[in-house]
Structure 1
Amino acid sequence: MSALPHRQSGSATMTADASHATASFAAPATSSWTAAWTTSPQRPGAGFAPNWSEWGFAHQTVRQVVRLSVGGDTVRVRLSNAYGTAPLTIAGATIALSTGGAAVRADSLRHLTVHGTQTFTVPAGAEYASDPVPFKTAGLEPVTVSLYLAAPTGPATYHAQAMATSYRCAGDQRAEADGTVFTETSQSWYYLSGLDVTGGPARPPGIVLFGDSLTDGTGSSPDANRRFPDALAERLAAAGRPRAVLNQGIGGNRVTVDSGWLGVSATSRFRRDVLGQPGVGTVVILLGINDIGISEVAEASPFPVFAPYTDVSADEIIAGYRDMIQQGRAAGLRVVGATVMPAKPSAFSTTRSEAKRTAINTWIRTSGEYDAVLDLDRALVSSSAPDRLKPAFDSGDHLHLNDTGYRAMADAVDLAALG
């Protein structure tokens, strides 16, 4: 099986989470792959909504729909068992163009292989890629990946908040075209961590949007591809400057704090989720609101998924930014910082958290340590209340954006700042 490519030559072992699960990465001597779609793997857990991760799968097919930010002539699929405690056997897998819901275009369906075989095993802690498959796709085109899991998998590595529907049914239905057998649904992705493409027109290196729920897309319309990264990819394509735009957000993620349900800290996962993506040249860091906000809700709204309720200072968050800037620069990336947007009057917003947010944003704007700054805070706040989101952009919880707000985020990006 092909190991996931790393930006640097040779091989490396990276920590998958705070309990030191590891995933091995080995780079090819040369690579023309570009990551066209990604998501950040998470530890199995209850999460914000019911999902299938804690129980996993047995004698079932799971079909997942994703939209590629750029197209190509050949594709490979990356699967992650980063948080698995046992080897993961894929009894069969397919890729196909989506026609809506769980349905696919039958003439586009291709079987995925590893070393030419349709059944393969991903070791515990590893993330691997399939063999290349001739598969012509266009940018912003939805595709499905179907995995047949015959033997019990145990708890599944997943991504909690997909803002997209995944489908499940009994038996081996990976080649089923009309999708009617897929009667169970979930709003998470399972095992799937990336789709890479080669071929197609030349384009600039890709962009990783690295963040929390505001990158992940919380508050946007499910199955509509209305997240911030989707809107930015659409804007670049409409401007005649298509580039891969990768969503590496995890809802609730923090710069400095590891969480069982909300992901390992951003500084820890930066290597895997940013530097481990082929064909990228820029990273945009939009993080910090959870570090300063979650400690404020410990008494007001003790929701178990938020634990631990670690109190983090502005200086500690800035130190985390500096760590990620150093990691990115060492790998040759352009590192762009985005200001932290307001959360008033949510429980995340207190006098103390607002003081931290002000200090953080002042540093982002004035330190000169980022290659460029996206001042999303100033672009999206209310003109009459600069400590609140503009009402037209507010999803209703005063923290997350709606579809209009995520589009406004993308429109506020200075494309020149992306390099």
Structure 2
Amino acid sequence: MKKFGALLLTAVVGVALAPAAAADHARGFTAIWGAAQHAPSDGFGPTWGVTGFDNHTLRQVVRLNGGGPALRIRLSNTYGTRPLEVTGATIARTDSGAAVQPGSVRHLRFRGDRSVVVPAGAQTVSDVAVFPVAPLSKVTVTLYLASPTGPATGHFFANATSYRAVGDHRSAVDGEAFTETSQSWFYLAGVEAVDASPRRDTVVAFGDSITDGALSTVDADNRYPDELAERLRGRKNVVNAGIGGNRVLTDSTCFGEKATTRFAQAALAQPDVRTVIVLEGINDIGFPQLGHACALPAPKVTAAQLIEGHRELIRQAHAKGVRILGATLLPYKGAAYFTEEGETTRDALNEWIRTSGEYDGVIDLDRALADPTDPDRMLPAYDSGDALHPGDAGYRAMAEAVDLSLL
């Protein structure tokens, strides 16, 4: 108990951090939930992120893939154009929808104050709140944003419902004021638990929309990292660092910086990270076939270029003493951007992942989800319907394909 108390005392003050410095200030914490952040875009339709918030209360529900006796939240204004003023923030135990459990609302503080200003291009962490949580439990984080925020840093494809109300409702127990909904997250980049263990126990799933959980059931937490967390049941924490549409080698205005750029912050800077699982490259292969603005630029890539991109991720992970596992790309025959040439590139990349020995371990998702009668196509029982993204059963099969001893 003395060790835990000392840790709380040293960690109790939240500090505004530049992104590159975040990992240096995360000692004594473990990541139990996260969402990779990117710039707002209306490339796929209207989003609160483009205009931001003004006298709004934003309520977001997240399922924690780990637990702990006390926690803090991490807020990001990495892509903001002005300082972000958070007038107040609370955390509570989730009831249903926008409602929270009576008696569970806890006001969060930042350096002892209920409000905080996060500089543009930076992030901040709250002070530690003694708020015990169990693995796989849900919490509701509420932010009151009294002043205009400008464009909001966030995560577009949350596949979870967020709620908005006009005015200050940060302490509300019922959800009646929250009449607007979105399927994106805003500003909330992570939840971190106090951890006195010397072991590193966090697994980061890094990738694109298939890691992000696209087309899984909304609000059901059936993404493959969530299913993996259910298998681990608190023995290790799991953080989802997927971004829908992300690529290994090319930036996008809608889908974030390329993997080789964002890897350091989204994966390696996670508190307590031990292992990263990389599943990425299918969009590099397929996007040249699309005409959507979010897919541009869309240079044609070779297997050799993708392999070098993966090698860069391996180099970055090993330089930080982090284990890195390579996952083979799923079958995608029948998808909107499938071509035989692209299939040849996918096969070559997968063969390198399987046989090169450069990754610390391999998770063969290609073979786990392939249709035995046509291995270039996903098994129909696992397919969401677009021949590219798994459905709930497919995401469960992905998690079951992970050899837990590799973690």
Cα offsets for 1:170-197 (capped at 9, x unmatched): 0000000011110100000000000000
In structure 2, stretches of 5+ residues that fail to align are 1-12
SS at 1:48 equivalent: coil
Pairs within 5 Å for 1:15-414 = 24-25=21-22, 27-28=24-25, 31-199=27-195, 205-237=201-233, 242-297=235-290, 302-414=291-403
SS at 1:386 equivalent: strand
CA–CA separation in structure 2 for the residues paired with 1:201 and 1:234: 21
> Aligned pair count?
395
Deviates more, 1:345-354 or 1:318-327: 345-354
Deviation of residue 4 (structure 1)?
Answer: 7.0
Equivalent pair of 2:14/2:128 in contact (CA under 8 Å): no
CA–CA separation in structure 1 for the residues paired with 2:101 and 2:127: 21
Read off the aligned partner of 1:170 and give its amino acid letter.
V
1:18 aligned partner: none
Read off the aligned partner of 1:155 and give its amino acid letter.
P
Cα offsets for 1:231-257 (capped at 9, x unmatched): 0000111xxx62100100000000000
**Taking every aligned residue pair, what percent have the same amino acid on both sides?**
51
Deviation of residue 25 (structure 1)?
Answer: 3.1
Read off the aligned partner of 2:309 and give its amino acid letter.
G
Read off the aligned partner of 1:358 and give its amino acid letter.
D
Identify if the C-alpha distance between structure 1 residues 200 and 174 changes in structure 2 by more than 3 Å, giving closer, same or farther. farther
Identify if the C-alpha distance between structure 1 residues 178 and 202 changes in structure 2 by more than 3 Å, giving closer, same or farther. farther
Deviates more, 1:333-342 or 1:345-354: 345-354
Deviates more, 1:189-198 or 1:309-318: 309-318
Equivalent pair of 2:228/2:238 in contact (CA under 8 Å): yes
Read off the aligned partner of 2:348 and give its amino acid letter.
A
Q: Does 1:2 align with 2:43?
A: no
Deviates more, 1:345-354 or 1:182-191: 345-354
2:10 aligned partner: none
Equivalent pair of 1:72/1:200 in contact (CA under 8 Å): no
CA–CA separation in structure 1 for the residues paired with 2:325 and 2:197: 26
Deviation of residue 109 (structure 1)?
Answer: 1.0
Equivalent pair of 1:4/1:276 in contact (CA under 8 Å): no
CA–CA separation in structure 2 for the residues paired with 1:201 and 1:135: 18
Deviates more, 1:309-318 or 1:135-144: 309-318
Deviation of residue 106 (structure 1)?
Answer: 2.6
Identify if the C-alpha distance between structure 1 residues 25 and 399 changes in structure 2 by more than 3 Å, giving closer, same or farther. same
Cα offsets for 1:278-332 (capped at 9, x unmatched): 01100000000000011122xxxx2222222221211111111111101001111
SS at 1:387 equivalent: strand
Read off the aligned partner of 2:24 and give its amino acid letter.
A
Deviation of residue 201 (structure 1)?
Answer: 8.7
Read off the aligned partner of 2:324 and give its amino acid letter.
V
Read off the aligned partner of 2:366 and give its amino acid letter.
D
SS at 2:70 equivalent: strand
CA–CA separation in structure 2 for the residues paired with 1:399 and 1:132: 41
Identify if the C-alpha distance between structure 1 residues 360 and 26 changes in structure 2 by more than 3 Å, giving closer, same or farther. closer
Equivalent pair of 1:296/1:353 in contact (CA under 8 Å): no
Identify if the C-alpha distance between structure 1 residues 355 and 257 changes in structure 2 by more than 3 Å, giving closer, same or farther. same
SS at 1:108 equivalent: coil
SS at 2:69 equivalent: strand
Equivalent pair of 2:15/2:111 in contact (CA under 8 Å): no
SS at 2:22 equivalent: strand
In structure 1, stretches of 5+ residues that fail to align are 6-12, 15-22
Deviates more, 1:184-193 or 1:336-345: 336-345
Identify if the C-alpha distance between structure 1 residues 409 and 179 changes in structure 2 by more than 3 Å, giving closer, same or farther. same
Read off the aligned partner of 1:25 and give its amino acid letter.
A
Deviation of residue 105 (structure 1)?
Answer: 1.3
TM-score (norm 1): 0.91
Equivalent pair of 1:4/1:78 in contact (CA under 8 Å): no
Identify if the C-alpha distance between structure 1 residues 139 and 416 changes in structure 2 by more than 3 Å, giving closer, same or farther. same
CA–CA separation in structure 1 for the residues paired with 2:46 and 2:163: 14
